[in-house]
Each structure stands twice: as C-alpha cells, then as structure tokens.
C-alpha cells in the first residue's frame, strides 16, 4: 500500500505541488511564530538575567509619590546607609527614576515617548556606579550636569560638554553633558533613552529629597544572596520589599513571556486561518486526484482491494505529502522568524542580540500540523474514493456525483447557515461583550454553512457575473462562464479559500472604517478647542504648563482635564463609593469641550458646585440641588451641591469640578490634557506662541484638530494594515487553489480545447477563456466573502453602538472595490500558467481518441 501511495505522489507531482505549497505556508507560519517567539523570549530572558547578574538583592518601595501625607515615600538615605553597613555587602545603590525626555538639537524628542527614562547617578566610595560604564566623560555630580546613554547621544549628535535640553514632567531645563555611558538596562537596550541626573536633582524631581525608590545591592564575593536578603529585610520600612536579583530576573522573564504570549496568539491565529483555508485546497486537490483515478481505483477494487484499503491509500498519500510539506515549511518558518526579527528592528524595536532558538516544540508542532491537516483534508476524498464501485472500471463514464448527495449537502448547509445567521443577529441585538461572543460563534457556523452551500450558490452568483463576460469578451467569456459552473463542487471549494479570507478582511474593514468615522465624528463634535496639549509619554503635565498656557496672548479659553478621585458616603448605609471626576476650569470648559447641560447651569461650577453626568445622576437618583458629602484625597471632607446635570460624553468624566475646589487637596495634580481655544483659531502663529509658552518642551505634544483625529484614525488604520498584511496569506493560498483547479480543468478538457483550436479559436482566446474562468471563480469567492464580511461587520458594529455615540454603519465602498479588483487579479495571476499550457496544447494529441 505504501509503495502505491508513494508512486501516486510521484506521478502527480505537479498537482500535489500546490497542496505542498499550501501546507508549507501554513506550517511555515506556525513554526515561524513559535521559533520567533522562542528566540525573542530567550533573548529577553538572557538580557534581563544579565542586567541582574551582579545584583544580589533588589529593594523596591511601594510608596506613593503623589501622597504628600506619606511620611515614607520610599527608602530613606538612612536605610540605604544601614544596608551599606551590612556584612557581605559590596555596594548598595539608591535609585530614583521617572520620565525624562531628551531633545535633539532640533528640539524633537529622541526615542519614542514610552521609553524615555531618567534616573540618578549614585557613585560609591570609588566614585563609580557599577550599573553604568562610561565610554566618555564621567557621571553627573553637579546639579546642572547629566549623562546620556550612548545610542541617544549618538542620535542627538551630542558630545561631552554640550548643552542638552531635558524635559521631565516640569518645564524643560538645560544641562551640561558630563558623560556618555553604556548599561545592561533592558529598556535602554530595547531602544529606550536614559538620562542620569545627580542624585539630589533626581530625588527632587521624582520623589523627595533624601529618599530613594529602589535599592540594588551587590554582594561581596562568597556571600549567599538569600542570607543577604534575610539581613536586608528587617531594615526596610513597611512599604518596601526586597527580593534576590535572581527572583527579579525571573519575574521579568515571566512578564516578558506573558507579553510575547499575546503576540504569539495573534500570529498563531493567522496561521490557523491560513491552515483553515489550506484545508479546502488540499481537500479539493485530493478530490480531483481521486476523480482522475476513478478507473484505476475501481480496478484495484475489482481485483480485490477493500474499501478500507482504498481510503487508507489515499490517506497515506496525503500523509506523505504532508510530511514533505511540513519539512520544507519548517525550514521556511525558521527563515520567516529571522525575517521577523530583522523586520522588528526596522520599527525601532531593538531586540537584544541572541542565537536563533529552535526547541523541539515547533518541530513537533510543524510536523503534526502539516501531516494531520493534510490527512484530515484528504479524508473525505478518500472516503469518496472508497465508494467507487468496482464496475466503474468497465465503464468509461466517470462516476458522477449523485444529485442526492448535493441535496443532502445543501440542506445541511442551509441549516448551519441559518443557525449561524440567527445567532449573529441575536448577538447583534444583545450588544456588549456577550453579544460579540455570540457573533463570533455565529460567524463560525455561518462561514461553515456558506462553505457547505457554496456549490449551490455558484450557479446563481456566477449567473450574475456572466453578463459582464459575454459582452466584452465574446465567445471566450461565454465559454468561461459556463466552464466555471461545470463542476460546482470544485468551483465552490476553490472559491471558499478566497471567501474566507475576504470575509475576515471585509468584516474588519467595515468595522474599522465605521468605528474610525464614529470616533472622528465624536472628536469633531465634542472638541471645540483649537489645540490639545498632553505629555508625549502619556503621563501627567505639570501645573506650570497650565499657567504658562493661560498667559499666552490670544488664548481665549484654557481648561485642563485633571483626573480626580474622591470618596462619597452613601447616605444611610455609610458605605463608601469611589467617584471619578475631572477638575476643569469653570467658564472655559464649555468653550473648549461640548458640555450639554440638561438641568441647572454650568455657571454653577464657578461657585464651587459639582456637575454630574446624566446617567450617573439617574443611577444614583441625584438631582440639581442634591448635596453630596465627599472626602478628598487628603482625607479632608466637604459637601458639594450638584449645580448641573449634563449629557454623557466620551470626552467628559462622570463628574466635573472646578480646579479651585480640588487643587487645595492635591499637591501633584494628575493633569491629563489641557485644551486651549485661541483667538484666530488654528494658525501657525498661534501654534508657535503656544509652543514658546511651553518652553519648546520636547516631551509635550501640541495637537491640533487634525492631529487629534489622526490619533484616533491612525491607530485603527495601522491595525487594519497589519491585519491586511497577515491576511494576504489567505490570498496567496487562494491563488494556489485557483491554479490547481484550473490546471485540472485544462487537463480534463484537453479534447475540448483541441477541438476549439481546430475549429478556429486562436491561442489568445483560449488563454482568455481560461483566464476568465479563473477570474469568475475568484470574483465568486470574493462576492461571497464580501457579503458575509459586511454582515459580520454590521453585527459587531451593532454591539458597539451603545459605547459609541454617533455610531453609524459606513460601508467602505472604495475598499470593497479594491478587494474585488484584487480578487480579479488573483484570478489573472493564478491563470497565467494554466492558460499558457492550455494555449500550448498540442491540438492533434488533444483531439485524438485513446
């Protein structure tokens, strides 16, 4: 049996090549993902292990920097000195860190906002800080000195002695560069920037003079880390904890693993889609091979092979193909992993260097996935092969699929599709996460159902396309249209690959574009300000920024959005409720953001009253005039009267207060954004004035309307583009499927094509006929996919309706048109080779009878 299977594989090399390619792509994706994430995780692990190499014990304080009442904001100088005095301690470094952005000579921020760190230089008795190795100059010892990591210094083209502008949360300051260093710090090695300040400056800036946030302890030779830990622990304040360096490194590795886990899952998801699509291609190929071998198989049955043996021989053949494809796919996957790694470098995401890690898992996964998927896909064709009666050997007519089996198939398909559609509509009506879950389940059923139904759908849908064919393309178009529906099963299986891919692409596009439009509309509807100011790292602005903005000439309204939390005692029960709110500038807030007051008046904010969003008020049973007993962050109590109730909006917190009411209770306000309205609206001059007032701070972002809209739309577009890229995989497999089907069709119709050539159809039109058939099949798949995708996009959109005011379904016709054109191109591309071989067919061989 094995010999027969092997012989068959060799005999059908060309046809099986497509199957091999499809399996290979899927396997490459799976193994590539696994190898890539393994390699990445290994690199990060060894990186973090390295950075804690000589750390015996790491102390972390859990103190709250925003809490002025906190008497122990971290680890005190005294504690640090005590640790230094312990036996077995070689050195102990106090660390205090936070955000610090460095401006390049043009005033632009060096590095992305999320990875700009500042810390302190803490020299020991020898004048060295073991965490940093200076390649040039020395550590900062004066208040106006800083040191910079090597890469950042290179990016800004700074040399020791240069003046460098650095922004922390406060205003920008200029420092003298005292030194350039390298470090084992993971964030820096991943492409972040690091500024070292003098310890006193860093403490002042980030915590409190005399206090540290972390302490790292290095041990004298021969000291046990655990023993040292035991010695350190009693010295620490309550809100600090100590761990061995090894434990911290392990924790970091764990975190890295988790972070990569999400990436892994997304990538594997796409690999899954590729394989799912591949199943149809494989199944189709084997169906065709079986059909082609009907007589041969019947003969085997006639000479005594059992049904089981026939099925097994087909499965064995599939296994051989799967194994070959897996092996090649795995090699390809390793290449893919290498490519991904260098690809990420292009996105400024530096990955620590390390060897390519190939564990047994991806190898086993690749083989298992490849072989099992191929055998699974070949199972139905194998069973069909076994059903060929021995008498078919005597009969020249190929066994035609009975209409009964299509009737059964159609009924099942219709049922599954209907169930899927009902579940989807149900989920859409329900909304929320639960609704989306139901839609996902329904989508799965609907997709399977439509795929089962696809042979039935082929006739009517292709009938729709046909007029476009016969018109401009004459006979070739007419014949192509008819050929496309000749074998509905085959056409359907071929179109399925495209349909699945396009369902996902279209669904995502509808959703992305719709949500993008809704967000865009929301932004334009709600933001009346001309500019929005925020920190590049997403952190809090300093209060000085607000004051500076208020002083700008031409600023007609300036209001911060300052996050506030306060407690509320529930009347009667004494139960405490945490309320979130925003502190804003009374009077100005309505001029920079839309505040739709339904009861009372926004003017009441100026009188120290509170405004509440409609839904919150309704839920709590509050009205204008209700007095709320609140406790602020500093434990001070006050009674606030509700002065206004406003419509809920994505840009407003559930409660609004005037900054004056809040500020006396908070020393470090959490100012997320400041909105500014300028006389003369948006203009270059106004922008300049604002940037000037902010001190040309590289860490602060000034966004105009368009920037704000891009911020929303941009992320969505980027996400869509990444998804499109990954789904291109489905398209590639679809191309393979179409090639396969066409090659088979051309092979089966040799006689016909020969006859057509004999009676005067020229080569060009033979090619066109094949090409158009491919285009018709592709367009058919695309139409099905787009239809289903739009439906799914709509359904998921419905569940978002409640969360997105101004939601309205937008059908991205332009993109849909592009998808159709792409599908057409898939057809043209796929038909290149089959069309050529059809045109080159030897007419005489073709019309000769056996």
Partner 1 sequence: MTTTTPSGVQTAARTTATAAVAARATDLTKVYGQGETQVVALDGVSVDFRKAEFTAIMGPSGSGKSTLMHCVAGLDSISSGSARIGDTELTGLKDKQLTKLRRDKIGFIFQAFNLLPTLNALENITLPMDIAGRKPDQAWLDTVVETVGLSGRLKHRPTELSGGQQQRVAVARALAGRPEIMFADEPTGNLDSRSGAEVLGFLRNSVRELGQTVVMVTHDPVAASYADRVVFLADGRIVDEMADPTADRVLDRMKDFDAKGRTS
Q: Give the three-state DSSP class for 848.
A: coil
* C-beta closer to partner 1: residue 59 or 839: 839
Which residue bears the tokens 């500019």? 531
* C-beta closer to partner 1: residue 639 or 849: 849
Dig out the tokens for 170 from the structure.
């406060």
Shortest distance, CB of residue 491 to partner 1, whole angstroms? 13
Distance CA 489, CA 159 (A): 71
Shortest distance, CB of residue 292 to partner 1, whole angstroms? 17
* C-beta closer to partner 1: residue 153 or 756: 756
Q: Can you say whether residue 680 is alpha, beta or left, with left for phi > 0 and alpha for psi between -120 and 50 degrees?
A: left
Q: Give the three-state DSSP class for 570.
A: coil
Parallel, antiparallel, or unpaired for β 655-658 and 576-584? parallel
* C-beta closer to partner 1: residue 758 or 817: 758
* C-beta closer to partner 1: residue 478 or 705: 478
* C-beta closer to partner 1: residue 597 or 766: 766
Torsion angle of C-alpha atoms 753, 758, 759, 764, degrees rounded to 10: 60
Distance CA 16, CA 321 (A): 7
* C-beta closer to partner 1: residue 346 or 759: 759
* C-beta closer to partner 1: residue 353 or 844: 844
Shortest distance, CB of residue 408 to partner 1, whole angstroms? 23
Q: Give the three-state DSSP class for 229.
A: helix
Class of residue 458 by CB neighbours under 10 A (exposed 0-12, middle 13-18, buried 19+): buried
How many Å separate Cα 575 from the centre of its chain? Answer: 41
Distance CA 306, CA 388 (A): 11
Shortest distance, CB of residue 486 to partner 1, whole angstroms? 6
The closest of 381, 377, 448, 449 to 413, measured between CA atoms, is 449
How many Å separate Cα 684 from the centre of its chain? Answer: 35
Shortest distance, CB of residue 766 to partner 1, whole angstroms? 10
Shortest distance, CB of residue 482 to partner 1, whole angstroms? 4
Shortest distance, CB of residue 485 to partner 1, whole angstroms? 8
The closest of 591, 525, 535 to 558, measured between CA atoms, is 591
- Which residues does residue 91 pair with via DSSP β-bridges, in sequence order? 218
Shortest distance, CB of residue 509 to partner 1, whole angstroms? 36
Dig out the tokens for 769 from the structure.
């006929």
Shortest distance, CB of residue 317 to partner 1, whole angstroms? 30
Torsion angle of C-alpha atoms 343, 346, 351, 357, degrees rounded to 10: 20
Residue 129 DSSP code: -
* C-beta closer to partner 1: residue 517 or 765: 765
* C-beta closer to partner 1: residue 7 or 398: 398
Shortest distance, CB of residue 393 to partner 1, whole angstroms? 21
Distance CA 750, CA 667 (A): 86
Interface residues with partner 1 (CB under 8 A) are 474-475, 478-479, 482-483, 486, 751-752, 754-763, 765, 843-844, 847, 849
Alpha helices in 73-222 (DSSP H): 77-84, 150-156, 186-189, 199-206
Distance CA 80, CA 124 (A): 12
* C-beta closer to partner 1: residue 274 or 479: 479
Shortest distance, CB of residue 409 to partner 1, whole angstroms? 22
* C-beta closer to partner 1: residue 16 or 479: 479
Shortest distance, CB of residue 495 to partner 1, whole angstroms? 19
Total residue length of the chain: 850
Distance CA 259, CA 142 (A): 39
Residue 127 DSSP code: S
């Amino acid at each position: 049996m094995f010999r027969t299977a092997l012989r068959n594989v060799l005999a059908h090399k060309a046809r099986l090549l497509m199957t091999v390619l499809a399996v290979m792509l899927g396997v490459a994706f799976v193994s590539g993902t696994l190898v890539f994430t393994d390699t990445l995780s290994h690199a990060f692990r060894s990186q973090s292990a390295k950075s804690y190499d000589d750390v015996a014990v790491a102390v972390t304080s859990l103190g709250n920097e925003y809490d002025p009442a906190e008497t122990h904001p971290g680890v005190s100088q005294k504690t640090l000195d005590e640790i230094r005095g312990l036996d077995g301690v070689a050195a102990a470094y106090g660390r205090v860190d936070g955000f610090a952005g460095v401006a390049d000579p043009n005033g632009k921020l060096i590095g992305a906002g999320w990875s700009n760190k500042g810390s302190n230089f803490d020299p020991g008795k020898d004048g060295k800080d073991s965490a940093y190795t200076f390649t040039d100059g020395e550590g900062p010892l004066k208040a106006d000195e800083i040191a910079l990591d090597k890469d950042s210094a290179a990016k800004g083209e700074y040399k020791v002695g240069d003046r460098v502008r650095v922004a922390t949360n406060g205003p920008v300051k200029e420092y003298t560069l005292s030194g350039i260093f390298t470090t084992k710090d993971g964030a820096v090695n991943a492409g972040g920037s690091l500024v070292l300040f003098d310890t006193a400056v860093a403490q002042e800036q980030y915590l409190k003079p005399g206090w540290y946030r972390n302490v790292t302890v290095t041990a004298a030779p021969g000291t046990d880390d655990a023993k040292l830990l035991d010695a350190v622990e009693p010295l620490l304040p309550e809100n600090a904890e100590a761990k061995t360096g090894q434990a911290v490194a392990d924790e970091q590795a764990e975190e890295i693993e988790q972070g990569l886990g999400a990436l892994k899952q997304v990538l594997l998801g796409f690999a899954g889609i590729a394989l799912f699509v591949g199943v149809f291609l494989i199944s189709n190929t084997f169906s065709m091979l079986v059909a082609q071998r009907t007589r041969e198989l019947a003969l085997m049955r006639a000479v005594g092979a059992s049904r089981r043996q026939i099925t097994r021989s087909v499965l064995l053949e599939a296994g051989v193909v799967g194994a070959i494809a897996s092996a090649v796919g795995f090699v390809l996957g390793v290449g893919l992993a290498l490519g991904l790694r260098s690809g990420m470098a292009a996105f400024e995401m530096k990955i620590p260097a390390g060897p390519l890690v190939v564990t047994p898992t991806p190898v086993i996964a690749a083989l298992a996935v490849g072989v099992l998927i191929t055998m699974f896909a070949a199972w139905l064709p194998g069973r069909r092969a076994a059903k060929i009666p021995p008498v078919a050997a005597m009969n020249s007519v190929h066994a035609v699929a009975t209409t009964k089996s299509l009737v059964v198939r159609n009924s099942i398909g219709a049922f599954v599709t209907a169930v899927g559609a009902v579940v989807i509509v149900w989920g859409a009506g329900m909304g929320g996460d639960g609704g989306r879950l139901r839609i996902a389940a329904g989508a799965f059923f609907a997709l399977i159902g439509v795929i089962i139904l696809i042979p039935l759908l082929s006739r009517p849908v292709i009938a729709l396309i046909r007029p476009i064919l016969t018109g401009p393309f004459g006979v070739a178009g007419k014949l192509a249209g008819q050929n496309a529906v000749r074998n509905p099963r085959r056409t359907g299986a071929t179109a399925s690959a495209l349909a699945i891919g396009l369902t996902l692409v279209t669904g995502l596009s509808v959703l992305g574009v719709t949500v993008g439009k809704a967000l865009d509309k929301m932004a334009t509807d709600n933001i009346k300000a001309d500019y929005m100011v925020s920190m590049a790292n997403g952190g809090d602005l300093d209060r000085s920024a607000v004051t500076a903005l208020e002083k700008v000439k031409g600023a007609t309204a300036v209001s911060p959005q300052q996050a506030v939390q306060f407690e509320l005692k529930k009347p009667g029960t004494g139960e405490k409720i945490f309320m979130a709110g925003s502190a804003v500038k009374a009077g100005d807030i309505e001029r920079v953001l839309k505040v739709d007051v339904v009861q009372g008046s926004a003017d009441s904010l100026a009188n120290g009253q509170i405004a509440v969003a409609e839904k919150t008020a309704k839920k709590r049973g509050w009205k204008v005039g209700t007095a709320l007993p609140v406790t602020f962050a500093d434990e001070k109590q006050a009674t606030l009267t509700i002065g206004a109730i406003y419509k809920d909006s994505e840009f407003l917190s559930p409660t609004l207060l005037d900054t004056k009411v809040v500020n006396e209770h908070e020393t470090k306000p959490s100012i997320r954004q400041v909105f500014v309205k300028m006389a003369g609206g948006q203009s270059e001059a106004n922008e300049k004035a604002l940037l000037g007032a902010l001190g040309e701070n590289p860490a602060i972002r000034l966004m105009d309307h368009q920037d704000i809209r891009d911020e929303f739309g941009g992320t969505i577009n980027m996400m869509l583009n990444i998804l499109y890229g990954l789904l291109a995989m489905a398209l590639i497999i679809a191309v393979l499927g179409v090639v396969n089907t066409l090659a088979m069709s051309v092979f089966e119709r040799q006689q016909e094509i020969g006859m057509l050539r004999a009676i005067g159809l020229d080569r060009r039109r033979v090619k066109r006929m094949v090409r158009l058939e491919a285009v018709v099949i592709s367009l058919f798949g695309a139409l099905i996919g787009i239809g289903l995708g739009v439906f799914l996009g709509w359904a998921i959109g419905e569940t978002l309706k409640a969360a997105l005011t101004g939601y309205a379904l937008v059908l991205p016709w332009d993109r849909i048109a592009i998808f159709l054109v792409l599908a057409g191109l898939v057809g043209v591309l796929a038909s290149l080779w089959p069309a050529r071989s059809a045109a080159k067919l030897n007419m005489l061989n073709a019309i000769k009878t056996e």
